[in-house]
Amino acid sequence: MWVKSQGSISENVVQVTTVFSSHFVVCGDELAIIDTGVAAGEEALNRQLSSVYEDGGGIDYILLTHAHFDHMGGIPSIRKSSESCKLVCSAKTAEMLSNKSFLEECWAWNKSLADDASIKISTTKKDWVNYFQVDKIIGDGDSIDLGDDVQVKAILLPGHTEDTTGYLVIPDSVLQAGEAVGGYHGRDVRSCAFSSSYRDYIESLDKLMSLEIRGLGLPHAGTLRGDLAAKHLIAVREESDALYKDVSARIAEGQVITEIFEQIEADWRSELKVPEGPFTANHKKLVEGMVRSIAAELDAANS
């Protein structure tokens, strides 16, 4: 089942949604949110979150899957309202978050998206630089104990980006891993998203397919429950292989890389209905990354 609405996903996980994305709130004695969407969704997100808090509470942890602008946009406003909230991510993500000009660029993308939607965001460029101090670096297999027998285990899943990390909620067997799990856009419409490495992405998918996952959080649009979770991972792996074969064949025919990704990107963008503005820019970067990653694999195999 594809669950898009706000509500309980499993015993210890509540899904909160905004028009831009959906997020898991993991509820032990303490609360953790996994990823925070874009800044344009911050007001709606904070409103949804306050309905999950117990009286006087707040979010204790933000767990970040990777440093892409559309996953980190709500971090400053959540940390403003929950001052003790800790930011947790992988060592590679932390390295990116320590770069001031990278944070300023992410803020600019969030601001431009909010401006396009005529939404005012509460945080400034300066806030962005101040609110991204990392409190805890998490490694592969490390867990955050939220109390009440609820834990979140980190799984390093490179391939979408080098820093992508998945978070498995135990004992619920519910996972959120950003675009490591590809995209689901309705029945039979899936997309893969390996901008750093095709081979790493496939290995990460294989790692996930060996787990028993009862709920799979999609990067922007709800959760797949039951058999659909495993089926989706298989389909995204097939989608990745199909793209690899397509790009390999085009290269063998002598088509140039720029032309290959421009053609594929335009086809996908219309099929997936990617909105104009920063999302389109992001999509172009993603498809270019995928095509270049395949070309690099082929070069390495031929040398």
Region from 64-72, 87-95, 208-216, 294-302 binding Zn ion, contact rule CB under 5 A? 64-72
> Under rule CB under 5 A, how many of the chain's residues touch Zn ion?
2
Which residue lies nearer to Zn ion by CB, 10 or 93? 93
Q: How far is the CB of 66 from Zn ion (least distance, A)?
A: 6
Max Cα–Cα distance, the chain, nearest Å: 64
Q: Decide if 243 contacts 268 (C-beta within 8 A).
A: no
The structure tokens listed for 41 are 């969704």
**Binding range to Zn ion, per CB under 5 A, among 12-20, 44-52, 65-73, 131-139:** 65-73
68 touches Zn ion (CB under 5 A): yes
Query: Residue holding tokens 């290269």?
Result: 251
Burial of 148 (0-12, 13-18, 19+ CB in 10 A): exposed
Instruction: Choose the stretch contacting Zn ion; rule: CB under 5 A; options: 25-33, 67-75, 196-204, 239-247.
Output: 67-75
The answer to whether the CB of 212 falls within 8 A of the CB of 173 is yes
The pairing of beta strand 136-137 with beta strand 86-89: parallel
* Residues of span 114-143 touching Zn ion by CB under 5 A: none
Closest-by-Cβ residue to Zn ion is: 68
Residue with smaller CB distance to Zn ion, 68 or 250: 68
Instruction: Tell which residue, 200, 288, 298, 289, has the closest CA to residue 248.
Output: 298
Q: Considering beta carbons, is residue 64 or 233 the nearer one to Zn ion?
A: 64
Contacts with Zn ion in 237-296 (CB under 5 A)?
none
Residue identified by tokens 């890389």 is 257
Based on the shown chain and the rule CB under 5 A, indicate whether residue 92 belongs to the binding site for Zn ion: no
CB of 21 to Zn ion, least distance (A): 11
Q: How far is the CB of 76 from Zn ion (least distance, A)?
A: 19
Please select the residue that binds Zn ion; options are 163, 179, 200, 288, rule is CB under 5 A.
Answer: 179
Burial of 44 (0-12, 13-18, 19+ CB in 10 A): middle
103's enclosing H/E stretch is: helix 100-116
Residue ranges binding Zn ion (CB under 5 A): 68, 179
